[in-house]
Homo-oligomer: A and B are copies of this chain.
Amino acid sequence: MKIPQGAKRVFQGVIFDVYQWPQKMFDGSLATFEAFKRADSSAVITVVGDKILIQKQEQPDSKKSYVSLPGGRNDENEDPLDGAKRELLEETGYVSEDWELLYTREPFYKAEWTMYYYVARKCQYQQEPKLDGGEKITNTLISLEEFIMLSENPDFYEPDFTNFLLRLRLDPKKLEEFKNLLFK
């Protein structure tokens, strides 16, 4: 969503800023509406040869590890593609000169927050990953078939992208198009 102009920022946090505004209801009355804003995030489908790179991550505040795509929060005023390139390099050490935006999604109605899904083709390993003190990440290369089947992996915590993968499994034509998009 787009938080209305004139909404008041009532909280500024480390991740979440909360806004409120008086909203006219259908019956003419006014109510206080609330939504949050957070940095947009980028995720990267990282093509390395005929494989795709995925990550196993641990978070300092959880005992469970999970599987994810490289990516993360964009810095303030950072272009989402620049954020994707920066995160890919930091987390994996890979670079690409062949990027394409796959799709965007607003995962949550009461938030001004967009997720950008990029394809990075023909990735090349450039340098050691630079993880910060809050990151523990292992990178693995898997086949396209294994990648599609992440949709059955309960540790793959990308609800929206799981949706995308399930649709590929439902439609062989879509899957073929996606394969061409990755490896063209």
The interface of chain A, by Cβ under 8 A from chain B, is 1, 4, 10-11, 13-16, 18, 20, 23-29, 31-34, 36, 58, 60-62, 107-110, 132-136, 157, 159-160, 162-163, 166-167, 169-170
Contact of A29 among B133, B135, B166 (CB under 8 A): B133
A-B contact pairs, 27 of them (CB 8 A): A1-B61, A10-B13, A11-B18, A14-B20, A14-B32, A14-B34, A15-B110, A16-B16, A16-B18, A16-B36, A18-B18, A24-B60, A25-B60, A26-B60, A26-B134, A26-B136, A29-B133, A31-B60, A31-B133, A36-B36, A107-B159, A159-B160, A159-B163, A162-B163, A163-B166, A166-B170, A170-B170
CA A62 – CA B33 in complex, angstroms?
Answer: 12
Contact of A133 among B16, B27, B58 (CB under 8 A): B27
CA A26 – CA B58 in complex, angstroms?
Answer: 9
Query: Smallest distance from the beta carbon of A173 to chain B beta carbons, Å?
Result: 15
Question: How many copies altogether?
Answer: 2
Closest to A107 in B: B159
List of B residues within 8 angstroms of A24 by Cβ: 60
Closest to A24 in B: B60
Contact B157 A31 (CB under 8 A): no
Contact of A34 among B15, B25, B62, B107 (CB under 8 A): B15
CA A110 – CA B72 in complex, angstroms?
Answer: 13
Closest to A59 in B: B109
List of B residues within 8 angstroms of A108 by Cβ: 107-108
Contact B27 A18 (CB under 8 A): no
